[in-house]
Structure 1
Amino acid sequence: MASEGETRPLLSASREQADEPVAPRHDGVITSDDIAQGSSFSKNLGTAEAFAIVISIVIGSGIFTSPGSIDTHVPSPGAALVVWLIGGILAWTGASTMAELGTAIPGEGGVQPYLRYIFGDVFGFLAAWTWIVAVMPATLAILSIVFVESIYSAAGITDQADRIEHKLLSILILVVIGVANSISTKTSTRLNGFFVVTKFTTIAAVVVAGLVVVIIQATHPNRDDVGGRDWFTKPWFGNRPTVNPDGSRTDWGHLSEWELLGHYSTALYGALWAYSGWDKAIYISAELSSPAKQLPLAINSAIPTIVFCFITANTAYYILLPWNVVSTTDSVAVTAITRLLGQGFGIVAAIVICLVVAGSLLGNSFVAGRMAVAAANQEWLPRLFSQLGRVGIRKRPEQESESADSSAGTTASDAPINAIILSTALSALYILLGNFRALLTFNGLGEYSFFFLTVLGAIVLRVREPGLHRPYKPLVLIPAVFAVVSGFVVVRGAIFAPVLAAVLIVLWIIGGVLYWGRKEYARRRVG
């Protein structure tokens, strides 16, 4: 019979948790039940819900705003589509590696249980700390800013993002989304389902519009009043001078190989931002009824679907617009629909895109709350953030008994309301203090630093524990490729944004001080 230390679940809320990585049982196998039994949430989600959450998070503002910035940094539309494909494949390699870890070491909190298992408690803490105070608040702030910016753009107003009215509206959107996620898990997943339908409908409308233009111009070659004509008259992979947003032009034939690498890496960075969210299915692995089967299935169906949607939508953009217009707009979908159908339909397109962004906000807020719950269960945050279904501190047992008696027959919320309030407050602070571009870079630095460590850890774990039960095990080349790419993203981001990198390092130092202070306090209390 195994000892208590060998059978303690990785995510147990017990105060006696070890600071070292959790050891496998004597047979070398760690099962899903061993690790996930400390979850705060019921296992009431299935593959369809996990699929919908990934779709809802990933298909957000990126597919409607990033094409212009990517086109600016490549010599041809064909090259842009290749960048979108490569970005999708890289996202898939990262998601597949996360699925391997998620089925071998399922639990709450995303990457933190994996890092804690592989490298030790302090790495798990710093991952949780970074996601809770930096990555997720920055993500929610970015999406809220994009939501309000889309409304302003539909009204023909630009360059208002730094005004206090814009920021307060962004915060209001955050609060509304937080309230929606505070009702219950079932409500959140149903809303996600609605937003998934909205996302697919929007992309389908863009693709159908492109197909209509193709049919019209193929049957009537002389018509130039519908869509763009460049797709029909110019080579898709032929170099063409690119018109930049500031009016300058990039002549690709006169650039050095180093300059070309810089442009392509910038384009790839934009594509990876558009695909961001591919990792979010692992954050609900503890709530899946059968994670070993459902998690890989959700990821391996959602990511290819997203890649297909992104490539077909971008192809449609190049059909609907002249190629020198694509690189100069940050609202390519609205621009394309407005040019094709007029200002009225452009406003409708902007409204629909707002709904798409709202879906991403809902999904990310849903995940952010669960991160704080997992950290509170580890006692890395105050215990009130692990509270489900009510605001404030947990009631005493006798109060809970009285409350249960008085509320018999009612259904309590299972939403982490305190945790959602925390993420909303932090996101509001980021909106007030930051701006879109700075938050985007800051978010990427924080995410990919720990993506790199996590995927590297998956490789280390294959060598250290070859007998670990892995229901899903992709080729080792897959995590190796993603480790190289994520390392490149972090180094590149730190070089081009040293101030933001320094801010992130300061946050890590603060987190380390809090971790060791908590550890010392626990040691003295026991002593």
Structure 2
Amino acid sequence: MKNCFHKEKKEDEAVYLRRKITLLRAISITISTVVGSGIFISPKGVLKNSGNVGMSLVIWFACGVLSMFGALSYVELGITFTKSGGTYIYLKETLGSLIAFLYLWSEFIVTGPANGAVVILAFAHYLLEHFLAPCTVPPVAVKLVALLIHYVTVALNCWSVSWSARVMNFLSFTKLTALTLIIVPGMMVLSKGHFENFQDAFDSSSLAVDKLPLAFYAGMFAYSGWGQTVYIREELVNPRRTIPLTVIMSLVVVTTGYILTNISYYTVLTTEEILTSDAVAVTFADHISKWLSLIVQVLVVLSCFGTLNGGLISGAREKFVAAREGQWPPLFSMIHIRRHTPLPAVMLQVPLLTFMVFSADLYSLLNFFSFSRWLFIALVVTGLIVHRYRHPEVPRPFKLPLFIPVIFIIICLSSVAMSLYSAPGNCSIGAAIILTGVPVYYLLIYRPMPARCRALFSYLTFKLQTLLEVVPQEIRTY
């Protein structure tokens, strides 16, 4: 009895990531991550690049279906493999270490920071537009406020996993409330017979086929975050049940909400008003009433905060697992001795995101990271099929019909290929950044470092470990 008690006590005091994410928390985290700046920014990008109202609604629906296909593919992988890390760990387990490292490299250098920068810039723009109206919002003020909220989010995730999850529970409610406050007034206006903005909805003269990939990217950006649960798999309670239920329930709610929200936008606002607005939700609310405008503005700000928090959670777990797998510095696989959070991995993105915020504007960032992100997501689902045929003996409690991942791969790769024609500059930059990871992999990962370099690296790791009060996890969680 004494030994058993001692063992339980030791495990309770051990340093590792606890399973604290229940089904409700997982759904809240997913909805809070998906419903963010995208639905309040992307309507402009989707409409501009699709050419007309009708095609933009088709794209919003198609993006929802495609997101479901991709998310279900991730569900199969998340149940088959027991490690956290999402895209990174699935690429490593199915297509090999080099592809996984190239994804990790591009996420660290540009994709992750750019995604976070888009969200926090949207947050700052919506917040300051209210307080400084009718004056023009100074760009420097937007950037400073954006960075402030990012640093607050980093501090929250360094402090407590439980508190971060509780915040996401609250924010998921605010996000759904924001969508409801847009949908209900829009449907009321539509019920009174205001269909004028839907006339010639599929006007072929304004359709730009070569720009459709950019419209697709803008729409998929609004749905990004659907694979949130697999990044924190080792922290989920009953993951085999939680992962599929979370994905299906979350995406049904989000897709329905997005389509109804866009219908409301088009009912109240003209095409010109949407294209000239940097804050479509606020412009919509201004047409309804001043009090609604204020409420929507506050809720949009909270929505952006939730998306930023969710992205930070998944990004940190990705680097944490990569370090544990030996493809990233070992410091980032360590956990705070009292907080039980992956503190070094959470802090990793701060410098590059700060640089991104001060170096580019919102829409250039959106196009910049979309190419590489969707290329690697397509490769993940390709890896699912490859792993099925290479390892038919592996148990798969959740197995999709083959046509679902195949359709997802074809559409993603087709859009990536078309984007090479639509935006060759951004795609070329994205491809070049990915390829810079090849020499890094062979010099630092594939081959062992010289003894002197290893000694210096170990010394620096020890000093930082002492400073941050972190240690490697003491109990295996996968």
TM-score range, shorter chain: 0.7 to 0.9
SS class of match (1:388): strand
Distance in 2 of aligned mates of 1:68 and 1:253: 19
Corresponding residue pairs, total: 437
SS class of match (1:295): helix
| Counterpart selection for 1:289 from 234, 237, 242 | 237
| Counterpart selection for 1:196 from 172, 178, 201 | 172
Q: Please report the RMSD computed on the Cα atoms of aligned residues, expressed in angstroms.
A: 2.5
Q: Which residue of 1 aligns with 2:383?
A: 457
Distance in 2 of aligned mates of 1:170 and 1:328: 22
2:257 is the alignment partner of 1:280: no
Q: Which residue of 2 aligns with 1:373?
A: 320
Q: Which residue of 2 aligns with 1:129?
A: 105
Q: Which residue of 1 aligns with 2:341?
A: 415
Letter in 2 for 1:504: G
Change (3 A) 1:523 1:182: closer
| Counterpart selection for 2:399 from 443, 452, 473 | 473
Unaligned runs of 5+ in 1: 1-38, 219-228, 241-251, 391-411
Letter in 2 for 1:334: V
Q: Which residue of 2 aligns with 1:446?
A: 372
Letter in 2 for 1:133: I
Write the deviation string for residues 2-23 of structure 1: whole angstroms up to 9, x where unpaired.
Answer: xxxxxxxxxxxxxxxxxxxxxx
Q: When you count helix as a share of all residues, which structure comes out higher?
A: 2
Q: Which residue of 1 aligns with 2:414?
A: 488
Q: Which residue of 1 aligns with 2:459?
A: none
5 Å-filtered alignment, 1:339-418, equals: 339-342=287-290, 344-389=291-336, 412-418=338-344
5 Å-filtered alignment, 1:482-521, equals: 482-519=408-445, 521=447
Distance in 1 of aligned mates of 2:142 and 2:182: 28
Q: Which residue of 2 aligns with 1:10?
A: none
Change (3 A) 1:273 1:348: same
Q: CA deviation at 1:523?
A: 7.7
Distance in 2 of aligned mates of 1:323 and 1:207: 18
Q: CA deviation at 1:74?
A: 4.4
Q: CA deviation at 1:158?
A: 8.0
Change (3 A) 1:413 1:498: same
| Counterpart selection for 1:424 from 350, 371, 394 | 350
User: Quick check: 456-465 or 502-511, which moved more?
Assistant: 502-511
Asked if 2 retains the 8 angstrom alpha-carbon contact of 1:132 and 1:371, the reply is no
Letter in 2 for 1:481: I
Q: CA deviation at 1:489?
A: 2.7
SS class of match (1:180): helix
Asked if 1 retains the 8 angstrom alpha-carbon contact of 2:23 and 2:246, the reply is yes
Asked if 2 retains the 8 angstrom alpha-carbon contact of 1:92 and 1:303, the reply is yes
Letter in 1 for 2:324: N
Letter in 1 for 2:402: V
TM-score under structure 1 normalisation? Answer: 0.77
Q: Which residue of 1 aligns with 2:86?
A: 110
Asked if 1 retains the 8 angstrom alpha-carbon contact of 2:32 and 2:310, the reply is yes
Distance in 2 of aligned mates of 1:47 and 1:194: 15
User: Quick check: 448-457 or 510-519, which moved more?
Assistant: 510-519
Distance in 1 of aligned mates of 2:423 and 2:273: 29
Letter in 1 for 2:189: V
Q: Which residue of 2 aligns with 1:308?
A: 256
Q: Which residue of 1 aligns with 2:5?
A: none
Asked if 2 retains the 8 angstrom alpha-carbon contact of 1:76 and 1:237, the reply is no
Q: CA deviation at 1:76?
A: 5.0
Distance in 2 of aligned mates of 1:263 and 1:382: 40
| Counterpart selection for 1:48 from 12, 24, 32 | 24
Q: Which residue of 1 aligns with 2:114?
A: 138
Q: Which residue of 1 aligns with 2:133?
A: 156
Distance in 1 of aligned mates of 2:67 and 2:374: 12
Q: Which residue of 2 aligns with 1:333?
A: 281
Q: Which residue of 1 aligns with 2:457?
A: none
Q: CA deviation at 1:133?
A: 2.7
Write the deviation string for residues 394-431 of structure 1: whole angstroms up to 9, x where unpaired.
Answer: xxxxxxxxxxxxxxxxxx21222211111122211211
Q: Which residue of 2 aligns with 1:238?
A: 200
Change (3 A) 1:503 1:355: same
- Bigger CA radius of gyration: 1
Distance in 2 of aligned mates of 1:196 and 1:520: 42
Asked if 2 retains the 8 angstrom alpha-carbon contact of 1:44 and 1:289, the reply is yes
2:244 is the alignment partner of 1:267: no
Distance in 2 of aligned mates of 1:327 and 1:105: 44
Q: CA deviation at 1:108?
A: 2.1
Q: Which residue of 2 aligns with 1:147?
A: 123
Letter in 1 for 2:315: A
2:46 is the alignment partner of 1:70: yes
Letter in 1 for 2:367: T
Asked if 2 retains the 8 angstrom alpha-carbon contact of 1:75 and 1:239, the reply is no
Q: CA deviation at 1:458?
A: 1.2
TM-score under structure 2 normalisation? Answer: 0.84
Change (3 A) 1:441 1:138: same
User: Quick check: 318-327 or 201-210, which moved more?
Assistant: 318-327
SS class of match (1:289): coil
Q: CA deviation at 1:329?
A: 2.5
Q: CA deviation at 1:191?
A: 0.3
Q: CA deviation at 1:110?
A: 1.4
Letter in 2 for 1:477: F
